[in-house]
Amino acid sequence: MYYIRVKKPLWLFFLLLAVACGGESSLTPQTSPAQTPTPTIAATLTLSGRGPSEASPERSPYSDVVEGSSPTTIASTSPPSPTPTLLPTLDPAYKRQTQFVPLYSPTFVKAGDASYLRDDDLVLGLELNGEARAYPVMMMWYHHIANDMVQGSPVLITY
């Protein structure tokens, strides 16, 4: 997955997207109102891609899907979208295409063991199915995406 990374995230993406409930394939979002697709910033800002990056040490549960397939970038599968008039053009000197590395099957520790966090650090907090999980902003700023499973519910954390 390719994306432009700037010094600070282009977005404060801390919404949480929950995909289908447990038991269903995560391919099928639970709700599917007929929405008019909106031109996305991700598509309009994405540059033409390079090849796949150095192998990610994070093993994906879907690696069998990815392996053997040709390199794909957002740009190559996404024709140019109409650009919203307010969307500015990136300063070329500021463009730097970087791959970010999503988290797959992330691991967690108890609050008392999180010595790497200070009380004034920011987290994204999730309560789902009776469980509470925190995603430190300083980690999500790097990964942008975490694919997680909370008590049987597949969730996508984006930042």
Partner 1 sequence: MQDRETRTIWAHLDGRATRGPLQGQRMKIIALPQMTWGEWKRAHKDTLVLSNNTTFKNQYRRFPIGDFDPREALYGDKRLPANALVVGVEVNGQYKAYPVDALSKAAGILNDEINSLPIVVFFDASAKTGLAYSRVVGGKVLEFAPSETNASQLKDKATGNLWDLQGRCVSQGCEGASLQFIPSFISEWYGWSAYHPDTALYQIG
Work out which of 32, 55, 68, 82 binds partner 1, going by CB under 8 A. Answer: 32
Site string for partner 1, 52-81 (x = CB under 8 A): -----xx-x-x--xx-----x-x--xxx-x
Both tokens assigned to 81: 């979208």
Work out which of 4, 47, 49, 158 binds partner 1, going by CB under 8 A. Answer: 158
By CB under 8 A, what part of segment 116-135 binds partner 1? 116-128, 131-135
Q: Closest separation between CB of residue 51 and partner 1, Å?
A: 16
Q: Can residue 98 be called a binding residue for partner 1 (CB under 8 A)? A: no
- Alpha-carbon distance of 146 to 15, in angstroms, equals 12
Work out which of 17, 24, 95, 96 binds partner 1, going by CB under 8 A. Answer: 17
Q: Closest separation between CB of residue 14 and partner 1, Å?
A: 5
Q: Can residue 111 be called a binding residue for partner 1 (CB under 8 A)? A: yes
Q: Can residue 47 be called a binding residue for partner 1 (CB under 8 A)? A: no
| Beta strands 103-104; 145-150: pairing state | parallel
Q: Closest separation between CB of residue 129 and partner 1, Å?
A: 11
- Alpha-carbon distance of 102 to 142, in angstroms, equals 9
Q: Can residue 149 be called a binding residue for partner 1 (CB under 8 A)? A: no
Contacts 24+ apart (CB under 8 A), 97-100: 97/2, 97/3, 97/4, 97/47, 97/49, 97/50, 98/3, 98/4, 98/5, 99/1, 99/2, 99/3, 99/53, 100/1, 100/3, 100/5, 100/142, 100/143, 100/144, 100/145
Q: Closest separation between CB of residue 81 and partner 1, Å?
A: 8
